[in-house]
Amino acid sequence: MTSAATAQEDRSAAIAAAAASIPQGERFVDFDGVWLAYDPTLLARGEFAVEDISLSTRPGEFIAIVGPSGCGKSTFMKLATGLKMPSRGNIRIGGQAVTGPLKIVGMAFQAPTLLPWRTTLDNVLLPLEIVEPYRSQFRAKREEFAERARRLLRTVGLQGYEDKFPWQLSGGMQQRASICRALIHEPRMLLLDEPFGALDAFTREELWNVLRDLWSEQRFNVILVTHDLREAVYLADTVYVMSKRPGRLVERRQIDLPRPRDLEITYTPQFTDIVHELRARIGAIRKT
């Protein structure tokens, strides 16, 4: 027990050291000893949703966070977007201390949450009606924005579906539209919370490539929360493993597979080894 605890301490220290190894000025996401309890009562009792999270990413890095369900991955998302303030510790995104909701972020979830009374195009345009500086220009530049949305929809293979309603699209198409909505205001960071969790295996792999292509083209920062290890290893530069509640980062795995990656790579021994290794880590967490 004590040796296991010590081993864990070592790993946490290693992750923190990896976070610190990126020079201050080059960090995009920077969590420094972040703890979150959801309300004062839980804080007083010392019940945290996430504990002592330290991680840093380089600009344009694609990171994935994996872990058993209910481990605080979604809490991590809320912290990274500024929807929740940490109880302890500091979060800096893009060099700025986080003090409230971050407009440089786009989000997509497992449920596409498209508005059923809007066409695909209008759904994608929604963020531009809300976020500044687009909001004040929306009326004047509607055509220009619509053209941008159409272009984005084309890149994810939704040309011809711009004027369809969400319920006329398949689940995979809705999720593509949802990702377009997250990207339309050209955010510097994309947060994805199990975005492909509800899709069938083939559609999921198709969308991995859609995301891969969007990312290699635009190089935004990505935080992908998932429980699909293959997905995490295929897409990310760095995979973090989170323990069950209270969520702690227990493993940091750099994925050195060459880019551009193709689905073929998921059948190579090199790839499956990494997946196995991470799987073993999570298996160990689930047992404790």
Partner 1 sequence: MNSSATLKFAPLILLVAIIALWQAICTFFNVSEFIFPSPVQIVYALFDLWGAIMGHAWRTFWTTMVGFGISIAVGVVLGFIIGSSRFAYAAMYPLMTAFNALPKAAFVPILVVWFGIGIGPAILTAFLISFFPIMVNIATGLATLEPELEDVLRVLGARRLDVLIKVGLPRTMPYFFASLKVAITLAFVGTTVSEMSASNEGIGYLLISAGSAMKMPLAFAGLLVVAVMAMAMYEFFSYIERHTTAWAHRGQGGQ
Distance CA 123, CA 151 (A): 14
User: Tokens 């991590």 sit at which residue?
Assistant: 76
Residues paired with residue 254 on neighbouring β-strands, in sequence order: 238
- The answer to whether 103 contacts partner 1 (rule: CB under 8 A) is yes
CA angle 138, 144, 150 (to 5 degrees): 110
Match 């004062």 to its residue by tokens. 40
Cβ 129 to partner 1, closest distance in Å?
Answer: 7
In three-state secondary structure terms, 204 is helix
**Minimum separation from the CB atom of position 231 to partner 1 (A):** 19
User: Residue 18's closest CA among 69, 62, 65, 55?
Assistant: 55
The sign one gets for the Cα dihedral 252, 65, 236, 101 is negative
Residue ranges of alpha helices (H) inside 219-259 are 229-235
Q: CB of 98: closest distance to partner 1 in angstroms?
A: 12
Size of the site for partner 1 (CB under 8 A): 27
- Site mask, partner 1, residues 157-196, x = CB under 8 A? --------x-x-------------xx--x-------x---
Q: Quote the least distance from Cβ 185 to partner 1, whole Å.
A: 7
The residue (of 109 and 208) whose beta carbon lies closer to partner 1 is: 109
The residue range among 55-63, 97-105, 211-219, 252-260 that interacts with partner 1, by the rule CB under 8 A, is 97-105
Nearer to partner 1 by Cβ, of 189 and 229: the residue is 189
Binding pattern for the stretch 132-151 against partner 1, x by CB under 8 A and - elsewhere = x-------------------
Q: Which of residues 107-126 bind partner 1 (CB under 8 A)?
A: 107, 109, 111, 113, 115-117, 126
Contacts of 131 (CB under 8 A, 6+ apart): 103, 185
Burial class (CB in 10 A: 0-12, 13-18, 19+), 269: exposed
Integer angstrom CA distances of residue 133 from 105, 127, 140, 161: 14, 11, 12, 27
Shortest Å distance, C-beta 204 to partner 1: 19
Of 102, 169, 224, 285, the residue at the interface with partner 1 (CB under 8 A) is 102
Which of 72, 82, 172, 246 contacts partner 1 by CB under 8 A? 82
Helices in 225-268 by DSSP H: which ranges?
A: 229-235
Q: Which of 127, 172, 195, 246 is the binder for partner 1 (CB under 8 A)?
A: 127
Look at residues 155, 221, 158 and name the one whose alpha carbon lies nearest to residue 187. 221
Q: Which is nearer to partner 1, 103 or 279 (CB)?
A: 103
CA distance 248 to 211: 27
Binding flag, residue 97, partner 1 (CB under 8 A): no
Smallest distance from partner 1 to CB 111, Å: 6
Nearer to partner 1, 19 or 105 (CB): 105
Instruction: Give 185 or 252: the residue with its C-beta nearer to partner 1.
Output: 185
Q: Which residues are at the interface with partner 1 (CB under 8 A)?
A: 78, 81-83, 101-103, 105, 107, 109, 111, 113, 115-117, 126-127, 129-132, 165, 167, 181-182, 185, 193
